Every structure is written in structure tokens, then in C-alpha cells.
Structure 1
Amino acid sequence: MKQTTIKCGWLVSMDDRIGDLKDAEILIRDSQIVAVGHDLGATSDEVIDAGDMIVMPGLVNAHIHLWQCGLRGIGSEWAVGEYFVHIHGNLATHYGPEDNYLGNLIGSLTQIDGGVTTALDWCHNLKSLEQAERSIDALEETGLRTVFAHGTTKPPTPPDGLPYSQIPHPRERVEALRKGRLASDRGRVTLAMAILGPHYSTWDVVVQDLALARELNLLSTSHATRRKQDCVTPNGYLRLAQEGLIGPEHNIVHANFFEDDELKAVVEASASVTPTVLVELHSDSADPLVPRLRALGALPSIGNDVEPIVSGDMFREMQAALLHARQVANRDNRRGGGAPFRISPVRSREALQWATIGGARALRLENRVGSLTPGKKADIIMLRSTDLNLFPVHNPLYSIVEQANAGNVDTVMIDGVIRKRAGRLTFPVDVLRQRQSELAASAERIMRAGDFTVLAA
């Protein structure tokens, strides 16, 4: 049983009982944190000198489509609706198992490189069990703690077939994963269901999908992106909440167009809501929901969503979420005739909560990750305080939330295993270079098959 001590310069624990400490230590036994404090006096097999670093919980990306990373940046100037036309209506349909493997491998390594230790991979281009299996192969190979949310394609309706909105989630595929390699909820990669939900499917399909998730004891998650008049099942989430069909085992993504009664109902039902602020600010959408969730006393979770449009850097997502929430609070206060705030109406610690504890809670992993609490998994990241954009550090929390970026991440530990050290991933360099070459070829083939050309800048 290996024992490791981390000697920290600054420690931001995200545990109210521990707080933020200077010159503290973390004691790790195998994959678990066993103590946090000063002068622990432990004899360890390895001592990590992080005396010039900010040590903190790994970030939790509560919503990202890792399979899309080979298409990064192709939609940076897309207008409203083009994502669905180009991705779901075209490029996604040309993916095979190996394309998914490559996207998930490079995508998850990118997340680790940027300080993310846990992610929900919303994998919704799956046409076969083999494609799902290869996606999971990549997650297991990289070491990222992942909730693999099994989803399905949204191809154009075939002339002799049903529209996807009338097709329930494929039981045989989900059962095969649940009774096979992802049977345990204690593993580093676990299973969830990425279902269509009321915005994209009929009421009968929604109820059937949720029943399957409950039967298999799985987290379910659904997109909510449409105005009420465009939904397949208008007011569907309100009805689900009122009929007791959703609770903390269900996660809703975006939900910008929810009316107040619908949002209040799902929050009171304890369903989690995940805004993806960078993407939502990019599009013709209602305001991201972070301010409205705060007003209801709910803890938001956040994620990057789609890298074809925005960056996959969770530090940028956290900063955008915080700045948007502050802007809305100041705007609404000014419009209401209030006196100027004497201190920021949205504090920096809240934003870090959204990117750690909030994500962990949404993924039903709060008892395992999200804070540096004894008994939780050793999912820890370290930021170089000597980097020019962070130096000098006066308040480590402000440095993390307001100043840091993915490039400041020096060390990443997941499940007690070092996945990045001294600024470099521990993943084999020769394998990574080969997979990068293969991903580029995969993306070129997919865009060629879809007769897609990237818009000239």
C-alpha cells in the first residue's frame, strides 16, 4: 500500500471544515486522501514538493462531448442552428468505432492536461455497441475519471423509418454495458444514460427512457435547448417534476428557455442543471442559467459542451460563468434602482464550487470527488505559482478563479495516480503522437465524407 505526502505552498481544499491553508500537507494512501493539515509527520514512500504551487481539487467538467475533439474550432463562427445541421445531421453520421476511440482519447487527455480530473462524456453519436466499447477503451486508457453517458445518433429520418424522437434508448446496448464492463459504480469509469428528453422526444419515449435508467440505477441526463413552441413535448420537464419522475438522479443541460415555474419545479425535485456558458453566450439563446439557479438556492455545475465551437479549457468556462453571473447581478440591481454593491455580488469561491463540488454533485460523485476531504479520492491538481500570469500570489483562490488557465497546470493526480508531472502528461509520448496523427486523418476523412468545408476566416 503506497503512501504519498504532498507538501503544499497553498492549499485550497473546497471543504469548509478545512478551509484554505498555507504550507500544509496532504497524506494519500493508494487512491484515497487520509489526512490534510500541518506537520502530519507521516512516513511516506513518496514526497511531492509542491512548495511553490497552489494545490486544489481537480476540476469537474459536468458536460462535454469528447468524441467531437477532432472537429475543434470548425464552427467558431457558425450561426444559430448550424451545429445541428453540420454535426448531427451530417458529420456525426460518418463516425465509426475507431473515430470515437481517437476523439475520446485525445479529448480526455486534453481535459487531464487542463486540470480536469472528472468529466461527464455525453457520447451521443453512437450507432453500435462496438462504437460505445471503443469510446470507453479510450477513457480507460487515459486515466480520466469519467461518467460515460451513452447516447444515440440523431440522423435525418429515413424514408421508411421512424424519426429519432419516437425511438426509445436502446436497452440491449445499455444493458450490455451495465451487466458487463461498467457494472460497478465504484470504478474510475462509470455508466450513465444520455437520453433525448422532452425537448427531443415524445412523452412515451421520455417515460420509457427514465424507467430504464431507474431500473439499471443509472444517472440520466438530457439536453434542454429549445423554445417551448419548438419542443417535441412542451412543458415536459415541468410534468416530469410534478409527477415525481425526476430527482437527483437526473441532470438537465442548458435549460436557458425554461420559464420560472419549470425551473423552480426541477430544482425542487432536486434534479441538477448544468449551464455551459461559453457555448450559450455564443448562440442565440436566453441568458445562461447560473444567476437564476443561484436565486433559487441551487448549486450549478458547469461544462465545456462542444469544442467545435468553444474552447475545452475549464478555467475559461469557470471565468465566463462567474463574469456572466456578476454582470447580470449588477445589471438587475441597477435596473431595480438599487445602490451600487459595496462588494462583488457573486464571490469567486462560488465559481470554484460550480467547477468542483457542483459538478461532483450533479454526477452523483460528491462523496468521492470535488474537495480535498479525507476519505475522498486523491483527485488533485497543482498550479505553478511562479508562472508569470499568476506570480505573485496574494490570494490563491483569486489566482485560481480569476487568473489561471490550463497552461498553469503542473501536476495532475487521479485516483492517486500521477497523470501529469512537471507540466507534461505521463501518457507515452510516442503513442500520443501516433494517435494525434490518426485523429487528424480521421477528422479529414469524416469532413470529406460529409462534403464539409471549414468556413474561411
Structure 2
Amino acid sequence: MTQTTLLRGGWIITMVPGSEPARGDVLIRDSLIAAVGRVDPPPGAEVVDATDRIILPGLVDSHRHLWQSSLRILACDWTLGQYFARMRGQFGGLFRPEDIFAGTLLGAVEALDAGITTVVDWSHNLNTPAHADAAWAALQEGGGRAVFAYGATNDQALRNDVSAHTRDVARLRTEVAGDAAARVTLAMAVRGPEFTTIDNCEADWGLARELGVPMTVHVGGGLRGAQGGIRALSERGLLGPDTTYVHCNMLSDAELELIASSGGRASVSPEVEANMGHGPPATARLRSRGIPTGISADVCTNVGGDLFGAMRVAIALQRGADHAAALTRGETLEVVSMTARDVLAMATVDGARAIGLEDRIGTLEVGKQADLLLLRTDLPNLAPVNDPIGAVVHAAGTHNVDTVYVAGRLVKRAGQFVDLDLPSVLRRAESSRDYLLAAATDR
């Protein structure tokens, strides 16, 4: 039986290039967007009053380590070096499959709560196949759209290991992840030349292409990111449009040109990068070369798990750097170098492009998946609405996220989850946290 819902009378931000926010309606039919604009209610449709709401595409987090969510904010004062020494060296090997499940589920739920309907789960603590199965099961239970990026074991991530990526990813591809149109799909989180040998990179890239799954790779983060890794990949003929390059801070302009010419994509994590010391933000350098660039929260051990904060940090860092450069030249900028629409695109349409899902999500268009959120504007931080896009980027917070749909399925309404036992999710995460902290203390 067809399920039809009409969201009526809201401020609509479609994020279709060239479009402007306007009052109107969005019709959802089953899992798809059926109409956008002025729509008469079809017979039998549920009509939702969106008068005091902004309706926009579900946000896209293009790179997040969900497995760490139970250790929330533990690393808030850690540098990048301390993170590797402590999170990987102290905690990573302690994670049981049930800890991976608890952290991944909590992170997936946290994302939905913040209006993030799609997340790339960069899962790089998969010490056994059971760990991978636990992460996959948590994404299924979480209810959001996800790309499960099957990553390394803790030992592989801890040092420059020479072992190849486990072929267990092939098992998962065959058993449960064969449908590229499913809500949860598969990718490979490959280590790249900053974490392993170039011969090993060639093998890992070959495995991903053999399986027909996209890749995501950390590059350009900190001093190890300034050693020509992209050039090395290019010399082996490995760069391509099936790869998302994460961070990119310390890459040279020539390396960014290699990514652009190969059709590659990118993801930045401005809040984490600034806090931990990855290097100057690469946002403008990526975007100026036409590289589709998404945005992410990265690790909730260090920052909050919403994209409102990430967007604000991204735009402030870029504008600040550009203002400072102009003042150093004895000039002032006549217009801002990055607009609110630019950074919202990174969290929606460009984020979808950055992970290869632009045909399905990222904009409110007929035929696309009905992944969207409604933000309350009848609260002091958004009322009155004068610039809907500016309101989302510069003023909105998770408390404004009123309603969330994923593939047309209602997962949050009136600020509350639908069909989710949140206390159970929290108890599981707290139990895992208690175990991990105690086990780390005993080592």
C-alpha cells in the first residue's frame, strides 16, 4: 500500500544549483520525493503543517568513526599525536565486537538526532570478522542511511604495517552488501601511503576495484601528510573517481591538481583538524579546483557529533584566513570568500557528490530518496526567519531538528525518536564505556 505524506507550507531549501529558498510543499510517496512546490493534498495523504519549519535535504557526514562514540569527548584536549598514542595504542585493541556495536549504534543514532541522514562510517578497528559484522548490524539497527567503509584492524592503523587489507570485506560483500541501492552500502576505508607501503596500497586499491566498491582514504593530515603520498599513488596509476580523499590539509597544490584531474572527491573535518593539528584547512583549495568536497564531524571523542558546528567552523576558518591574507597585503575584502550556501552545499549536495550518492540524495528533487529534515523556526535562535540558508548555517542547532525522514520513513517527530528505544542504546554505550575505561586502566 502506497504511503503518502505532504509537508505543507514550509521554507523549502532544495539545494538544487541556482534555486532559492521559497515557501512551498514537499510530497513524499513511499521512499521517494514525488513533488516540490505548491502541491494539492492527494486523497488519503497525511498532511504535516510545516508553517514554522525549514525543510531541507538530510545532512551528509562524509567521514565519521562511529565506533568511538562510546568514548565521547575523552580526547577533547588531545593533539593528533596523542590521539594515535592513546585511542589506538591504549584503547583500540580492547574493543570487543559488542563494543563496536554499542559505539556504532550510538553514533548512528546521534547523527539522526542531528538531522544527518547519511553517514560514511569509517570503521577502522575491525580486529576480527565478528567486529565487522557487529558494525554492519549496528548500522542496520540505527535506521539511517550509511556507507560502511570497511577499514583496518587496530594493529594496522597503529603503525606502518605491511600486511594487506583483510579479504573479509569480500565475504561481507557477498553475504549482505551486494545491493548498491540499499540503505546501507559497502565501501573500503583503505590506509593509503601515509600508513602503509605503496605496494600494499596497490593491493588494497586492486581489491576494492575487484569488488566494485568505492574507497575512502586519509591523506594530508599532519606532518606525515606532507610527504608526497598522492604523487606516489598517481605514479602507480591508482587515483580515480571512485576515491574520497579525507582531510588533505598538507597536500601540495600539485597533488590537489592530480586529485582533480583524476575525478577524485574529498571530505574535510575542519573542527577536528583545527583542534588536533592536521594543518591549515584545505576547503578553499579543494573547492577552487572543482573537487566535490563534503564535510564531517570525524571523531566524537574530540568534538560534537552534529554538522551545524562543523559548518560554522569551516566558514569561520576560511573567512578568517582570507581576511587575514588580505589585511597582510594592506587590503580588505569587498565580499566574503565563502558563503553560507557554499558550506551548506558541503553538508548536502556536495557531500552527496563527495561519496558518490548524488543521484540518490543531497537535494530535494522529484525522484530522489526522501531523506530530509524539518527545522523548528518558532524558537528564539531562528525566529524570525530572514535568510533561511543563513539561519541553518549560522544559527541552527540540534534542538531545532524537529522531524527527520530517511527513505520516506519517519524516524524523528516533534523532537523525539519514533520506534527507537533510546534508553537501551544509551545503557549499552555506557556499559561498553565502563568496560573500556576499566580495561585500559588495568593494562
**Same-fold call, TM cutoff 0.5:** yes
Question: Could you tell me how far apart the structure 2 residues matched to 1:266 and 1:238 are?
Answer: 10
Question: Could you tell me how far apart the structure 2 residues matched to 1:226 and 1:379 are?
Answer: 32
Partner of 2:83: 83
1:442 paired with 2:432, answer: yes
Q: Tell whether the 8 Å contact from 1:291 to 1:328 is kept in structure 2 after alignment.
A: no
Partner of 2:188: 193
- Aligned residue runs from structure 1 range 54-453, under 5 A: 54-155=54-155, 165-171=161-167, 173-226=168-221, 230=224, 234-338=227-331, 340-428=332-420, 431-451=421-441
Q: Which deviations, in whole Å up to 9, do the C-alpha atoms of 1:217-253 show, x marking residues without a partner?
A: 111111124556x46x942312323553221210111
Cα RMSD for the two superposed structures: 2.0
User: 1:382, CA displacement in angstroms?
Assistant: 0.3
Unaligned runs of 5+ in 1: none
Farther-moved stretch of structure 1 (74-83 vs 34-43): 34-43
Change (3 A) 1:266 1:434: same
Farther-moved stretch of structure 1 (416-425 vs 235-244): 235-244
Q: Which deviations, in whole Å up to 9, do the C-alpha atoms of 1:63-108 show, x marking residues without a partner?
A: 1111101001111111341100111112111111111111111111
User: 1:337, CA displacement in angstroms?
Assistant: 3.8
Question: Could you tell me how far apart the structure 1 residues matched to 2:80 and 2:206 are?
Answer: 33
Question: Could you tell me how far apart the structure 2 residues matched to 1:66 and 1:342 are?
Answer: 41
Unaligned runs of 5+ in 2: none
Q: Tell whether the 8 Å contact from 1:383 to 1:410 is kept in structure 2 after alignment.
A: yes
Partner of 1:46: 46
TM-score of the aligned structures, taking structure 1 as reference length:
0.92
User: 1:139, CA displacement in angstroms?
Assistant: 1.0
Question: Could you tell me how far apart the structure 1 residues matched to 2:109 and 2:221 are?
Answer: 32
User: 1:41, CA displacement in angstroms?
Assistant: 4.8
Q: Tell whether the 8 Å contact from 1:13 to 1:373 is kept in structure 2 after alignment.
A: yes
Q: Tell whether the 8 Å contact from 1:111 to 1:313 is kept in structure 2 after alignment.
A: yes
One-letter amino acid matched to 1:97: P
Moved over 6 A (4+): none
Question: Could you tell me how far apart the structure 1 residues matched to 2:387 and 2:295 are?
Answer: 23
Q: Tell whether the 8 Å contact from 1:165 to 1:196 is kept in structure 2 after alignment.
A: no
Question: Could you tell me how far apart the structure 2 residues matched to 1:126 and 1:119 are?
Answer: 18
Change (3 A) 1:416 1:39: closer
SS in 2 for 1:343: coil
Change (3 A) 1:329 1:43: farther
Partner of 2:21: 20
One-letter amino acid matched to 2:217: S
Question: Could you tell me how far apart the structure 1 residues matched to 2:352 and 2:419 are?
Answer: 25
Q: Tell whether the 8 Å contact from 2:124 to 2:157 is kept in structure 1 after alignment.
A: no
